Amino acid sequence: MLLDFHDRLRQAGLPISLNEWLTLMQGLQAGLGTLNLENFHAFARLCLVKNEAYYDRFDQVFSDYWSGQSQTFDTLLDSLNTAIPEEWLRSAGLEDLSEEQRAQVEALGGWDALMETLAKRLEEQQEEHHGGSRWIGTGGTSPFGHSGFNPEGIRIGQTGKRQGRAVKVWDQRRFRDLDGTQEIGTRNFKMALRKLRRLARDGRPDRLDLDETVRATASNGGLLDIHLRAERRNAIKVLLLIDIGGSMDYHAQLSETLFSAARSEFKRLDTYWFHNFLYEKLWQDSARRHTQFTSTPELIRTYGKDHRLIIVGDATMSPYEIMVPGGSVEHWNQEPGAVWLQRLQQAFPHCVWLNPESPQWWDSTPSVRMTRELMADRMFPMTVNGLQQAIDCLKSPINPATGADHD
């Protein structure tokens, strides 16, 4: 009957594997998490959720699944007791017991009686809803696994009684802030960016190359012949183009976060700024952008094809700014922005566009739609998930959109 719960969790996008589900089942059969619903919630989360970012989503599904069916947990326990062949349970349970414990089980009236007692206790527990883990936690004779941590019934600290919680744990949604779809801070950015790396040995050889040394020493008749090699370093090169000013002012803080995260993460990072869309000029110093700029062809000549290109912009503007010569709001551009974007794509095939604007507005803004088409769908929101997708995408080169410009 829990399979329905499993399906719902998966529908909610929680990455639950069969392995983890079986662990949960195994644990339930060993008596873990069967004390009451709260206990089950904690145990299920322990088994199934491996990232605090999913805690909130798990809590929501849990709440949704159990709300309005208070009887269900009892039914669940019943199904656990009956649906499994009893023989199987017997051998599975008794195997783990020591001789002494077995004797104690016998003293309690044998296995069957004990199972009955357990079922009864669980029922009472459900009704009374207090007393915490006293039930199965003490004594150390329990074959249900609770004795594990505290064989003598000693607890860590003095937790005392379970506090009367007015609101169920999963309804408090305490982990809302940790959800991965939320926007991100520097630290999270760094974590995502860290995936983008390509280790290579370069620089001064200052590490002992053991294999080579052994080989060389052996062929040298046993006389020591030391060989060194360079350390492995992240050799990825990143080119970051950031939209600045205008509608991007709303996203200034987010861009700043990305910028500072990227700067500390990549040794070879170059950043250029642009306004609204890419044309023939970019600049590195915003204050003197009109006097000191880099022309885009020069940029293409300067940086090699192995650079990863990350463009950050909200792509929110008039469609003319992308498609028409002279469309730019700042100057007269000879060629439309789309052409320049395609040139950049040809020069740096590993490229993505990060959009700080929420994806729900993308479809309703024509210029975003157009940019997305030009980027062959390689546009991602600036969230943890979005950045991760973008980084994955950067591993493969772009298939340029139709009508690529050849000149």
Partner 1 sequence: MTTVKDSASGAMPASNYITTDDLQQAVDAALTLQRPLLIKGEPGTGKTELAIEVARRLNAPLHSWHIKSTTRAQQGLYEYDAVSRLRDSQLGDERVADINNYIVRGVLWDAFVSEQQSVVLIDEIDKADIEFPNDLLQELDQMSFEVYETRQTIRARQRPLVIITSNNEKELPDAFLRRCFFHYISFPDRSTMQRIVDAHYPDIKQDLLSAALEVFFDLREVPGLKKKPSTSELLDWLKLLIADDLPAEALKADDIRTVLPRMHGALLKNEQDVHLFERLIFLNRQQQNKRS
Residues of the shown chain interacting with partner 1 in the complex, contacts defined by CB under 8 A: 15, 17, 19-20, 23, 26-27, 30, 32-33, 38-39, 42-43, 46-47, 49-52, 55, 132-133, 145-146, 148-150, 154-159, 162-163, 174-175, 178, 187, 190-191, 194-195, 208, 210, 213-214, 217, 222-224
Question: Is the CB of residue 354 less than 8 Å from the CB of residue 387?
Answer: yes
CB of 136 to partner 1, least distance (A): 10
Cα 240 to its chain centre, rounded Å, is 23
In terms of DSSP H, where are the helices of 72-156?
72-82, 86-95, 99-107, 110-128, 134-137
Distance, first Cα to last Cα, the chain = 64
In terms of DSSP H, where are the helices of 208-348?
210-219, 252-265, 296-302, 320-323, 337-347
**Tokens representing residue 339 in the block:** 């052409």
Report the residue number, 63 or 150, with the smaller CB distance to partner 1. Answer: 150
Pairing state between β 268-274 and 237-243: parallel
Residue 287 CA to residue 290 CA, distance in Å, equals: 8
Report the residue number, 172 or 292, with the smaller CB distance to partner 1. Answer: 172
Residue 157 CA to residue 290 CA, distance in Å, equals: 66
Report the residue number, 189 or 273, with the smaller CB distance to partner 1. Answer: 189
CB of 191 to partner 1, least distance (A): 6
CB of 405 to partner 1, least distance (A): 39
CB of 273 to partner 1, least distance (A): 25
Reference 340, options 400, 402, 280; nearest CA is 280
Angle, vertex CA 177, rays to CA 15 and CA 311, nearest 5? 80
Residue type, 66: W
Report the residue number, 121 or 369, with the smaller CB distance to partner 1. Answer: 121
CB of 375 to partner 1, least distance (A): 26
Pairing state between β 307-312 and 237-243: parallel
Report the residue number, 135 or 293, with the smaller CB distance to partner 1. Answer: 135
Q: Which residues contact 13 (CB under 8 A, 6 or more apart)?
A: 57
**Tokens representing residue 312 in the block:** 């950050």
Q: Which residues contact 309 (CB under 8 A, 6 or more apart)?
A: 239, 241, 344, 348, 350, 351, 352
Helices 55-66 and 37-48 meet at what angle, rounded to 10? 140
Helix (H, G, I), strand (E, B) or coil at 393: helix
Report the residue number, 145 or 245, with the smaller CB distance to partner 1. Answer: 145
CB of 246 to partner 1, least distance (A): 25
Report the residue number, 5 or 144, with the smaller CB distance to partner 1. Answer: 144
Q: Give residue for tokens 């003095």.
A: 158
Cα 244 to its chain centre, rounded Å, is 29
CB of 394 to partner 1, least distance (A): 16
Report the residue number, 110 or 151, with the smaller CB distance to partner 1. Answer: 151
CB of 172 to partner 1, least distance (A): 10
Report the residue number, 154 or 287, with the smaller CB distance to partner 1. Answer: 154
Report the residue number, 132 or 400, with the smaller CB distance to partner 1. Answer: 132
CB of 42 to partner 1, least distance (A): 5
Question: Is the CB of residue 330 less than 8 Å from the CB of residue 289?
Answer: no
CB of 169 to partner 1, least distance (A): 8
